[in-house]
Amino acid sequence: MTNSFKEKLGEGDYGGIYKGNLNGHPVAVKILKATKGNGEEFINEVASISRTSHVNIVTLLGFCLNRKEKALIYEFMPNGSLDKHIYNQDSNMGWEMLYKIALGIARGLEYLHRGCNSRILHFDIKPHNILLDEDFCPKISDFGLAKLSTRKESIMSTLEARGTIGYIAPEVFSRNFG
């Protein structure tokens, strides 16, 4: 599927992402590293993203769980992640395109918080986890830190801060906010 992992698309905290081919269509294959514990990030990702269907959420096409080997298969995003565009001085993204992307991200987050059968809190929204399709439509990805809650719950309890330093919501990091 990945042609012996020849084309690496990126590297995350939990493993590498490779370009693959599934039935003649390009896909992104995320190979998860062996982790300590019970593989909570894998379970979180499959459980949360498999419940979604929205234009601004990346589509999980399948997964593989074979003893210690874990892989997630996603739709391929030809324009990569948002960070590669906004931190690139040669990028030709104008304000109109950035506005369209910000609006798409907001719509995706609203769907996760209000549109799903279960509320999904992502906990790791950052430019690296926003993928762009061929039309630069943004799609939220990487649900490894996500938490599910019932629609009736209005307060989410977390014992530890989740997310990337610099992107963590203040109310998650410090109990004095929110």
Which residue positions form the known binding site? 30
Q: One of 83, 124, 135, 142 is an active-site residue; which one?
A: 124
Which residues of the chain fall short of a pLDDT of 70?
A: 34-39, 150-178
Is 135 in the active site? no
Is the separation of the CB atoms in 167 and 125 below 8 Å? yes
Instruction: Tell which phi-psi region holds residue 6, choosing left (phi > 0), alpha (psi between -120 and 50) or beta.
Output: alpha
**142-159, pLDDT tens digit by residue?**
887 777 776 565 555 555
Report the pLDDT value the prediction gives residue 103, as an integer from 0 to 100: 98
State the Cα–Cα distance between residues 124 and 24, nearest whole angstrom.
Answer: 32
Which residue positions form the known binding site for ATP? 30
**32-43, pLDDT tens digit by residue?**
876 655 667 777
Report the pLDDT value the prediction gives residue 37, as an integer from 0 to 100: 55
Q: Sign of the CA dihedral 135, 136, 140, 141? A: positive
State the Cα–Cα distance between residues 48 and 148, nearest whole angstrom.
Answer: 7
Report the pLDDT value the prediction gives residue 73, as an integer from 0 to 100: 93
Instruction: Record the pTM.
Output: 0.82
* 8-173 is a CATH 3.40.190.10 domain: no
